[in-house]
Amino acid sequence: MATVLTIYGLLGLGLIASLVKSREKTAAAFKIAGKALMKTAPSLLTVLGIVGLTLGLLTPDTISRLVGAEAGWVATLTAAVIGAITLIPSIVAFPLAGSLLRAGATVMTISAFVTTLVMVGVVTAPMEIKTLGKKFTLLRNGLGFLAALLIAGIMGVLLK
């Protein structure tokens, strides 16, 4: 809800200011918006479909089973990969991470999961490539994944 309010609040202010200054330019802005929206629509639909599929197949239960109480590198790496692939809303992801932690998963595993979850987006890659380019997307996500593993390692050591 805060999201919608923020965006529409900004839009309202912007539109009023724009209309006061020039109606023609406001129309031009809408034209640009329409074109950009049409161009991104296919990749947006793709992303929505993949998000649904990954969340439908990888339920919180399945994730718990995969990264559960098993310690060690395999669990951490699995958690990092799952975090990188899925796009889970934080309101679902953090309670899940919290319960996994209490169930015996290591801090390293949980921080790998949380960090790749927010830093790396495999399912949103089609849209990122469309808007920001292949090179940018690969670099951002690749380096983000490496950084997430490093962060997980440091957190695992410091928060023992």
Partner 1 sequence: MKILKTYLAPILIALIFIALTVVWPDAAVRSAQVTWDYFKEMALIMPAIFVLMGLMEIWIPKDKIQQWLGKQSGFRGAALAFVMGTLPTGPLYVAFPMAASLIRKGASITNMILFLGSWAALKIPQLMVEIKFLGLPFTALRFVLTLTALLIIGLVMDKILHKSPDLEWQKSAPDPARMPGIGMGMGMKAGVKPGMKPDMKPGMSTTDQKEKQSDNQT
- Binding to partner 1 (CB under 8 A) within 1-30 occurs at 2-4, 6-8, 10-11, 14-15, 18, 21, 25-30
Site for partner 1 in 32-51 (CB under 8 A): 32-37, 39-40, 42-51
- Residue whose tokens read 């529409």: 8
Residue 109's contacts (CB-CB under 8 Å, 6 or more residues apart) are 67, 71, 75, 76, 79, 100, 152
Residues 105-124 that bind partner 1 (CB under 8 A): 107, 110-111, 114-115, 118-119, 121, 124
**Selected range binding partner 1 among 31-39, 63-71, 73-81, rule: CB under 8 A:** 31-39
The contact pattern for partner 1, residues 65-84, with x = CB under 8 A and - = no contact, is --------------------
Residues in the chain: 160
Residue 130 one-letter amino acid: K
Which among 116, 114, 111 is positioned nearest to 159, based on CA atoms? Answer: 111
One-letter amino acid for residue 33 of the chain? A
Looking at beta carbons only, is 75 or 126 nearer to partner 1? 126
